[in-house]
Amino acid sequence: MHSKDQISHDDYQKTADWLLSQTQHRPKVAIICGSGLGMLADGLKCQDSFPYADIPGFPQSTVQGHAGRLVFGELKGKTCVCMQGRFHMYEGHSLSKTTFPVRVFKLLGVETLIVTNAAGSLADSYNTGDIMIIKDHINFPGLAGLNPLNGPNDDKFGPRFPPMSGVYDRELRRLAQDISKTMGVSQYMQEGVYCMVGGPNFESIAEARLLHRLGVDAVGMSTAPEVLVASHCGMRVFGLSLITNKVVKCYDDPECVDHESVLEVSKLRSQTLQALVSELVGRMDVNNNNTA
């Protein structure tokens, strides 16, 4: 189920060509919205919106909190494309299908990928509702051989052995910190290491303790595959995790996480996250790959 589908460059190109024929927007920035965070797309002006079911080659999103639409539009003067809902390995998609939109974005002309997710915190200093800037990740499925870059390499997208050190753009991370201070929300901001696990179950206590000892600050079930493919394609990457719960690490702790509570916290911080991402996009220099 998780082996690489043989998706050809022509398959990606056909989807990109269809989208280019349906909209006049030519995005330089792509935003992938995590669970309950699809409101980020609501800030786009002059929208063109397409249900995933209408887009040739696109998988379908089946998870509550993921609307399943691709939205093009203008954000702070920049042309963007926004995924209202992503695809997950645990839904039964192969990783090549999970990351299919990222390579399509590359063919559309996207230079910067912004990824957001809902995550549980393992860091003792984090609180529910915090926003973590991702500085690095641990990709557990990838370490076990489940990697979207498995199979023949497509040199038109990138090299056979792409480096992952420094994959989360340092300048964009610095800019986000500056923006959070200007917005007066720096007390909610963290910066740390995200870990992807396969899901769909939440972590056992023993697993949570293991991840904590490995230096993981937040854990979720997505993001790393899209980041891998974006980096392989030469995009710069910025990532945010909304901390929606504290992961249980003690056997005497009566707390228990569920997806509905994750969505509730997402709603509480939605405006802050939307404002932060909007300002970040507005201050990007998309032509020179620098920040303004």
Instruction: Judge whether 57 and 14 are in contact, CB under 8 Å.
Output: yes
Q: Is position 171 annotated as part of the catalytic site?
A: no
Q: Is position 66 annotated as part of the catalytic site?
A: yes
Amino acid sitting at position 28? K
Q: Is position 90 annotated as part of the catalytic site?
A: yes
> At a CB cut-off of 8 Å and minimum separation 6, what does 289 contact?
111, 112, 236
Q: Is position 1 annotated as part of the catalytic site?
A: no
231, 241, 245, 266: which is the annotated catalytic residue?
245
16, 30, 41, 118: which is the annotated catalytic residue?
118
221, 224, 230, 284: which is the annotated catalytic residue?
221
Q: Is position 96 annotated as part of the catalytic site?
A: no
Q: Is position 212 annotated as part of the catalytic site?
A: no
Q: Is position 35 annotated as part of the catalytic site?
A: yes
25, 66, 137, 232: which is the annotated catalytic residue?
66
2, 25, 88, 93: which is the annotated catalytic residue?
88
96, 147, 222, 241: which is the annotated catalytic residue?
222
Burial 161-187 (b: 16+ CB within 10 A, else e): ebeeeebbbeebeebbeebbeeeebee
> At a CB cut-off of 8 Å and minimum separation 6, what does 9 contact?
154, 156, 157
39, 49, 67, 90: which is the annotated catalytic residue?
90
Give the DSSP letter string of 154-181: -TTT--SS---TT-B-HHHHHHHHHHHH
Q: Is position 2 annotated as part of the catalytic site?
A: no
Straight-line distance from the first to the last Cα atom of the chain, in angstroms, rounded to the nearest whole number:
44
153, 212, 259, 270: which is the annotated catalytic residue?
259
| Secondary structure letter of residue 35 according to DSSP | T
Based on C-alpha coordinates, what's the Rg of the chain? 18
Phi first, then psi, for residue 46 (nearest 5°) are 55, 55
35, 61, 180, 278: which is the annotated catalytic residue?
35
- List active site positions: 35, 66, 88, 90-91, 118, 221-222, 245, 259
